[in-house]
Amino acid sequence: MKKLIIAVVTLILCFTLSACGNRYVSHYNAMLMVRENTPNKASVSFDSFSGTYVIQLKNKSADEAFINYEATLGEGNIKVYYDFNDEKLNLFEIEANGSADGKTEAFTGNKTIYIIIESDGECNEGSFSFVLEKSEK
């Protein structure tokens, strides 16, 4: 019995400590949400969404890279941020019946890039896409 208790406590500690490594945490309510997240591209679309959704992209080389993004939103307000060097920066804001597209500044270094999508209340009919691409030299 003692071995079982020790094993359970060990597993709980492992999961708890490994979760602390994430810089940002997703917490949201959504309906009909479809997500895709690979190291160099991510997308999310939803019927309704409220909260914060965090995406991680990975620049796997020392080459310069940037993120192309596209977004649409039917109702509500959403702010999108990014973090590359431990600083949360505004990427864009989108309002009801709005759209946004563009690209970030160039990134260098083998690091994780966080994209943080934060709603201001409930939002409807949204679609967001982010693609990490190498800079042309």
User: Pick the residue with more confidence: 71 or 5?
Assistant: 71
Q: 21 pLDDT band (50/70/90 cuts)?
A: low
Please report whether residue 41 resides in a domain.
Answer: yes
Domain containing residue 48: 25-134
Please report whether residue 16 resides in a domain.
Answer: no
Please report whether residue 3 resides in a domain.
Answer: no
Please report whether residue 95 resides in a domain.
Answer: yes
Please report whether residue 9 resides in a domain.
Answer: no
pTM of the model: 0.80
> Where residue 129 sits, what CATH number does that domain have?
2.60.120.260
27-65 confidence digits (pLDDT tens): 999 999 999 999 999 999 999 999 999 999 988 877 888
Please report whether residue 11 resides in a domain.
Answer: no
DSSP the chain: -HHHHHHHHHHHHHHHHHHTT-SS--EEEEES-EEEE-SSEEEEEEEEEEEEEEEEEE--SSS-EEEEEEEEEEES-EEEEEESSS-EEEEEEE-TTEEEEEE---B-SS-EEEEEEEESS-EEEEEEEEEEEEPP-
Q: What is the pLDDT of residue 76?
A: 96
Q: Is residue 114 pLDDT above 90, yes or no? A: yes
Total tally of structural domains belonging to the chain: 1
